[in-house]
Amino acid sequence: MFLLRQPAALHPCISRLLSTLPTLTLFTKVIQPCISRLLSTLPNLTLFTKVIQPCISRLLSTLPTLTLFTKDPCPLCDEAKEELEPFKHRFALQQVDISLPENRVWLDRYRWDIPVFHLNGQFVMKHRVDVVLLEKLLKDTKTQKA
């Protein structure tokens, strides 16, 4: 198989990539550089576009999306992210910085309420992580997909 003839660095890269897929925050720090390294070792993009990219998309699409509306600095947001750690394998975390110009609508809505959380586009909680509610919502989401 093509992948077996690639440099040794390629295989750990793919393993690392697959182990970190549940968290989107790791996408930009780990997966994206890993994919770039992977692409630099490929003689052409065919394998990536036909095999690897669809696989990654499929894996990411199976998880519910938890959106965290935040800004920097936000000590409550930092605290909330720590509370989410035990759940990180069960959702894809998307962070929206409400202080950016393109997120003005969210700034107007949530200026005094961050952190605010949406699950699959629906508001679920604000100010603090309610772990009991989050657990219930994640179970309900899993049940709906089954």
Q: Is the pLDDT of residue 6 over 50?
A: no
∠ Cα 131 136 140 (to 5°): 145
Most confident of 16-25, 54-63, 98-107: 98-107
Give DSSP secondary structure letters for 68-89. Answer: EEE-SS-HHHHHHHHHHGGGGG
Q: Which domains, and CATH codes, for the chain?
A: 2-61 (no CATH), 65-145 (3.40.30.10)
| Tokens matching residue 143 | 């049940």
∠ Cα 30 34 35 (to 5°): 120
pLDDT, tens digit, 9 for 90 and up, residues 116-138: 999 999 999 999 999 999 999 99
Q: List, in sequence order, every residue forming a beta bridge with 95; answer none if it has no partner.
A: 68
Reported confidence tier of residue 4, pLDDT bands at 50, 70, 90: very low
% of the chain exceeding 90 in pLDDT: 51
Task: Answer yes or no: are the C-beta atoms of 117 and 66 closer than 8 Å.
Answer: yes
